[in-house]
Structure 1
Amino acid sequence: MINQQLVSILMVALGLLVGNVLFLYSLKFIAPAQSNVIVYLWPVILVVLATALGLMAFSPRHIMSVLLALTGAVLVIGPDLATGSWIGVALAFGSGFSWAIFCVYRIWQGPDAPDALIAGLTVSSITAIIIHFMIETTTLPTSLSLFGVIFTGIFPLAVGNLCWDYGLRRGDKVVLAVCAYATPLVSILILAAFGRAQLTASILVGATLIVGGGLASSRQVRSF
């Protein structure tokens, strides 16, 4: 009999590791803005797959809300996207697709799914270190860079994924998928606060669309 706990741990590790590796390598071929837009097709992929498998109740309003939020994300990340390479596009799409598959798997497991995030994150980290030593050149980080890496690993990756997994299995999946598009918006606002980005009309319009998509979705919540 297959150990469900072990399978869950492996799915977590693969979902996180594959998604991040493909995204990072896509940046070698296409611009970061373009890669981000392609990766952020994953909420749409998630909703389509979960609906097709009967894991989500869906409605035309939800379709419109997802498309609205996607349009907003495109505007926030950048209106002038480079054409780029098909290899980079494929890698970025693979990143989003792998994350969507992981999310669908956790939805399928349901609210009583075995706890696998902490172990899965550990396996993913160890595997990433092994891959690094196999194919990359090691560079010793500065103290500030090391602090940034540790901070990023603890909060956005560890705590963020734990909260996401809990909400995905116990909350409203469609609303979460739509709200995920707020990620590029929040990142732009943080950069603007530190003087690293400039707020433009496209960002403000994109923010309005993202918020509108979230509100449109949340007005028709169903029980999953």
Structure 2
Amino acid sequence: MTLRALLAASFTITVWASLALLTDRVSHLPPVLASGIALMVGGTVGAWQRQAWQAPRATYVLGVAGLLGYHALLFAAFGLAPAVEANLLQYLWPLLIVILSPVFMSGYRLRLPHIAGAVLGFSGAALIIGADGISPNAHYVSGYLCAIAAAVIWAIYSLGCRRLPPFPTSAIAACCLIAGALAVIWHTAQHGVQSLALERSDWGLLVLLGLGPMGVAFLTWDIALKHGDPRSIGALAYLTPLLSTLLLMLFNDRAMTPHSFMAMCTIFAGAALGNMDVIRGLWHRRGRVHTLPSSN
């Protein structure tokens, strides 16, 4: 993976750590409206550039569908299920990127560690959904399903971007603007213009969401995907649920139950196992750097 991709992925992961924290704080808002406003704000980051509107049509179709679908489902998940559990489930997408890579790109094959990692990861998801023994918690099941669906959509969107003809990164901002506008129009058609009257604090949180995890981070994520190995990026991305869960606990007073902690450990173990090739390669590269002879 190139240095540019590594820096872009690291920056994105750091900014995305705040996504769950901010989304949880606006979970009382209608999910389509909240995601739409945040996406429109995010679009202002780069949609003003001329090249943002010169991408192939397929870019806008995939971008709008992926961005709107993922975030509408994510906001809905946080409103329908406990924040920590919803956050862990939606962060199955890095593992899904590893598992689905052979479907979208040639030259990528699944081996036993990948399959074993997937089994562990989805076992962790099953632990969350089946909070009471092996039967799902019916009160939260709709939120859990929204979180899982969001993970699937984001993995498909991320890998699908690798299959598209070349397009400028700023086109992602244009997709944000289009997706956000469609969401706001859709919500307004259903609930009326009066439903757009939000508290000042809610507007502030939505602007923060739009400028950070739903704005600049999309552009750096696109750079990382274009210039790096998606399996390596998937491995790095598993730092995000850890950081975001810690932020939820520290700033939103969200508790992690022993059940959720066990699920988190299982999901992380699956991610590590599924990305063992990447981890081993990074370790060997580090070893070679440390054994280089010094020059006189």
TM interval, shorter chain, is 0.7 to 0.9
- Return the TM-score normalized by structure 2: 0.58
**Structure 1 residue 15 displacement after superposition:** 0.6
Deviation at 1:78, TM superposition (A): 9.1
Q: Which residue of 2 aligns with 1:196?
A: 253
In structure 2, the residue matched to 1:145 is 202
Closer, same or farther in 2 for the Cα pair 1:195/1:44, shift >3 Å? closer
Deviation at 1:59, TM superposition (A): 2.6
Q: TM-score, normalised by structure 1?
A: 0.73
- Write the mapping of 1:1-224 to structure 2, written as runs, cut at 5 A: 5-25=56-76, 31-32=81-82, 39-55=90-106, 56-71=108-123, 79-80=131-132, 82-83=137-138, 92-109=147-164, 112-115=166-169, 116-137=171-192, 138-194=195-251, 196-202=253-259, 204-206=261-263, 208-209=265-266, 211-221=268-278
Distance in 2 of aligned mates of 1:67 and 1:156: 29
Identity within the alignment, %: 26
Which amino acid counterpart does residue 153 of structure 2 have in structure 1?
S
In structure 1, the residue corresponding to 2:255 is in which secondary structure?
Answer: coil
- The count of corresponding residues between Structure 1 and Structure 2 is 218
Q: CA deviation at 1:219?
A: 4.1
Q: Confirm or deny: 8 A CA contact 2:120 2:267 kept in the other structure.
A: yes
CA–CA distance in 1 between the matches of 2:204 and 2:215? 15
- SS for the counterpart of 2:277 is coil
Q: How far, CA to CA, are the matches of 1:94 and 1:195 in structure 2?
A: 24
Q: One-letter code of the match for 2:214? A: L
CA distances 1:101-158 after superposition (whole Å, capped 9, x unpaired): 2222112238x54432111111112112211211235142222221111001111111
95-104 vs 40-49, which deviates more? 40-49
Q: In the superposition, relative to structure 1, how do residues 48 and 131 fare at CA in structure 2: closer, same or farther (>3 Å)?
A: same
- After superposition, the CA RMSD in angstroms is 3.7
Q: Aligned partners of 1:130 and 1:175: how far apart in 2?
A: 38
**What runs of 5+ residues in structure 2 fail to find an aligned partner?**
1-53, 282-296
CA contact (8 A) 1:38 1:92 kept: yes
- Pair 130,184 (structure 1): closer, same or farther in 2 beyond 3 Å: same
Residues in 2 aligned to 1:72 and 1:180: alpha-carbon distance in whole angstroms: 17
Q: 1:37 to 1:171 in 2, by over 3 A?
A: same
Distance 1:53-1:143 versus aligned 2 partners, 3 A rule: closer
Which of the two has higher C-alpha Rg?
2
CA distance in 2, matches of 1:179, 1:73: 19
Post-superposition offset of 1:16: 0.7
